[in-house]
């Protein structure tokens, strides 16, 4: 299948937008505090869930329980 150059340009813009979002703390929706030093890592729940089925179940199970309460 041939790729239309306008599709490539749209994809490039999409990925640039995602890359910019990853560098911003104001859109994160989960925070991990790790170790004795209590290092803080902010993340995007959706992206974690996309990469890890285990995290997807854990992160969204918590959200579901909160809605039921």
Tens-place pLDDT, residues 17-50: 888 888 888 889 889 999 999 999 999 988 899 9
Which contiguous run of DSSP H or E holds residue 14? Answer: helix 5-22
Q: Is the pLDDT of residue 63 over 70?
A: no
**Cα 26 to Cα 19: distance, rounded to the nearest angstrom:** 14
Whole-structure pTM value: 0.59
Q: Using alpha carbons, select from 55, 37, 38 the residue that is nearest to residue 46.
A: 55
Q: Output DSSP code: residue 1.
A: -
Which contiguous run of DSSP H or E holds residue 66? Answer: helix 53-68
């Amino acid at each position: 299948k041939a790729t239309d150059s306008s599709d490539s340009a749209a994809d490039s813009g999409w990925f640039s937008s995602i890359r910019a979002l990853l560098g911003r703390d104001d859109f994160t929706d989960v925070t991990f505090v790790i170790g004795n030093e209590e290092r803080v890592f902010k993340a995007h729940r959706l992206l974690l869930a996309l990469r890890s089925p285990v995290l997807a179940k854990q992160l969204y199970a918590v959200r579901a329980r909160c809605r039921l309460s």
